[in-house]
Amino acid sequence: MIIVNLDVMMAKRKMSSGELAKRLGITPANLSILKNNHGKAIRFSTLDKLCRILNCTPGDLLEYREEEEGE
C-alpha cells in the first residue's frame, strides 16, 4: 500500500496544516484526508504543488509498504 508521509515532511518544514492547505489551495478537510491516508488518489498538480511548497520530491512524500495480512 502507498503511505503518504505528509505529516513527517510538514514537521520537518515546521509548517501547519492550515498554512499548507491555504498555500495548496485546498480545504483543510481535504488536506486531512490526504494526511491520514484516507485519500483514493492524488492529482499530479497537487503533488507538484506539495513538492514545491515543502521543497521535497514525490519519493519523500510517498512510500510503498507491504500490506499486512487481514488489512
Site residues, another protein (CB under 8 A): 26, 30-31, 33-34, 38-43, 46
Separation between Cα atoms, residue 17 and residue 21, nearest integer Å: 6
Which three cell numbers mark 48? 507538484
Q: Least CB distance from residue 6 to another protein, whole Å?
A: 10
The smaller minimum CB distance to another protein, of residues 14 and 38, is found at 38
The radius of gyration of the chain's CA atoms, rounded to the nearest angstrom, is 12
Q: Least CB distance from residue 41 to another protein, whole Å?
A: 4
The smaller minimum CB distance to another protein, of residues 33 and 69, is found at 33
| Alpha carbon of residue 64 to chain centroid | 14
